[in-house]
Amino acid sequence: MKFTGVSSFGAALDVACGTGQSARALAVIAQRVEAIDISAEMLAEAQPHERVHYRLASAERLPFDDGAFELATVGLGFHWFDQPVFLAEARRVLKPNAWLVVYSSGFIGEMEENAEFRRWAWEVYPKRFPAPARRSVGVSAELVEPHGFKVAGKEDFAHHETMTAEQLTGYLLTQTNVIAAVESGKTPLAEAATWILEGVTPFFGGRSPAMKFSGSIWYLR
């Protein structure tokens, strides 16, 4: 299931837009995009777009009128929401028969060229930087149907990204595991970067191997 064509939708909502990459992509198929995030720091880094309006707001309290949108999207943020509250709000601001698309994607901790890297990613790294508590990443009929949605379809996908040790370090520094440790004051950012780079470098051998990513897309209506 894919949405194609320029301006297929009139008004669309992007929830947890971060720095706006997803919102700007959404503007390809929507005439107007409202993009919200709870992080003022993220929004401050968002690049402007003539059809995207950025706003500081939470997923659980959407500052929009009933039936305002034909499409809403959530990328990489759903597991942080109070999901029942958000789903009720999404149902409120969406028109009848409108779409809610939830998607997730991330590094699965594997390197194509070196199977030994998985042990570092799955055992060593999370022991040093444990993942904060979060809600279910996935979407199910049991979760969404009480709020007026049906799961109309799902797609799974996978891709590889070639990275240097420095690039992987930069990516891991953006993960909530590391951010939580830095923001709590337990680990300075420079110390975290040094620890990660020293840990991953032996697996690279001066090359740019392929790192494995995967994700899912749920189409709700």
Mean per-residue pLDDT, 139-166: 95
For residue 132, name the pLDDT band (cuts at 50, 70, 90): confident
Torsion of CA 81, 83, 89, 90, to 10 degrees: 90
Looking at the 3D structure of the chain, how many domains does it have? 1
CATH number at residue 199: 3.40.50.150
Q: Which of 195, 184, 57 is nearest to 124 (CA)?
A: 195
Note the pLDDT of residue 135.
61
Residue 39 lies in a domain: no
Residue 158 lies in a domain: yes
For residue 137, give its domain range: 58-220
- Is residue 200 left, alpha or beta, with left meaning phi > 0 and alpha meaning psi from -120 to 50? alpha
Mean per-residue pLDDT, 169-198: 93
- Global pTM reads 0.85
Of residues 5 and 210, more confidence is placed in 210
Residue 96 lies in a domain: yes
Residue 84 lies in a domain: yes
Note the pLDDT of residue 72.
98
Residue 15 lies in a domain: no
